[in-house]
Amino acid sequence: MATKSPATKKSTTRPARLPLGRDRVIRAALALADRSGVEALSMRGLARKLGVEAMSLYRHVANKDDVLDGIVDMVIGEIEIPPLAVGWRAAMRGRAISARQVFLRHPWAATLFESRTSMSGIRLGYADAVLGILRRSGFAVSAAYRSFLLVDSYLYGFMLQELSWPSGEAERRRMATQMGPLLAAAGHLHLAEVMTHVGSAPAGFDLDVEFERGLDLILDCLDRLRG
């Protein structure tokens, strides 16, 4: 009489879980901030995204402030600082344009960047590299300091306005076209002129172009400071 072969047992082996290191925690926090905004970032929500208990996170990060500093550092790491060999003006211009593109990818980052008071090695290295471009290009210490502040003030101010505008050229045109007559009727004639220009300019209102035009004006002035 033939014997039945034993039933093959189904494998219950689970796939190996990725190790929960600091880098993985910070990258998950960055993704959460990009998706829901930095205000929605919490240690409990971060733990859920990683599939762990909240207490497990504290083996890799000290607290939420440590996480916020970590995602700021990660964003700074995306900003390109061109080499001085291209010339100080091209290097400063390239750095500002790269920073704006990074902040557009992470809309919460510009405000958080300026609000963090702790200075990590990455943040210090970033500031030192920008100042180094200016100092090695003939800017006095005071002029380098003023130049750094001026470019960054323009960068962050432009970003705050840009992120509050409707997204997309068509939507900006629609809003400006609607606002023009309303502003004129209320007696705000100069502002109405500007909105009419924004809504009807043949070339459109390209924020990339506008940012670079303003940046070039500032760089023209910085050349005088260097002298």
User: What is the reported pLDDT for 73?
Assistant: 96
Does 122 reside within a domain? yes
Q: Are residues 204 and 110 in the same domain?
A: yes
Q: Are residues 28 and 89 in the same domain?
A: no
User: What is the reported pLDDT for 89?
Assistant: 97
Q: Are residues 104 and 174 in the same domain?
A: yes
| Nearest Cα residue to 22 out of 80, 81, 62, 79 | 62
Provide the domain limits for residue 130: 84-226
Does 78 reside within a domain? no
Cα–Cα distance for residue pair 156/158, rounded to 1 Å: 5
Residue ranges of the chain whose pLDDT lies below 70: 1-17, 201-204
| Nearest Cα residue to 203 out of 164, 169, 166 | 169
Does 13 reside within a domain? no
Exposed/middle/buried for residue 203 (C-beta within 10 Å: 0-12, 13-18, 19+) = exposed
Does 75 reside within a domain? no
User: What is the reported pLDDT for 4?
Assistant: 55
- SS3 of 82-151: the string is CCHHHCHHHHHHHHHHHHHHHHHHCCCHHHHHHHCCCCCHHHHHHHHHHHHHHHCCCCCHHHHHHHHHHH
- Asked if 109 and 102 count as a contact pair (C-beta separation under 8 A), the reply is yes
Cα–Cα distance for residue pair 67/27, rounded to 1 Å: 10
Does 110 reside within a domain? yes
User: What is the reported pLDDT for 176?
Assistant: 82
User: What is the reported pLDDT for 35?
Assistant: 95
Cα–Cα distance for residue pair 15/13, rounded to 1 Å: 7
Q: Are residues 94 and 200 in the same domain?
A: yes
Q: What's the angle, vertex CA 89, arms to CA 211 and CA 208, rounded to 5?
A: 15
Q: Over the stretch 113-137, which tens digit does the pLDDT of each residue have?
A: 888 888 899 999 999 999 999 999 9
Does 89 reside within a domain? yes
Domain count, the chain: 2
User: What is the reported pLDDT for 137?
Assistant: 96
Whole-model pTM?
Answer: 0.84
DSSP string, 178-213: HHHHHHHHTT-HHHHHHHHHHHH-TT---HHHHHHH
Q: Are residues 205 and 172 in the same domain?
A: yes
Helix 64-76 with 22-36: angle, nearest 10 deg? 80
Where a domain ends, among 69, 95, 124? 69
Q: Over the stretch 12-31, which tens digit does the pLDDT of each residue have?
A: 555 556 788 999 999 999 99
CB neighbour list of residue 96: distance below 8 Å, 6 or more residues apart: 151, 154, 155, 215
Does 35 reside within a domain? yes
Does 76 reside within a domain? no
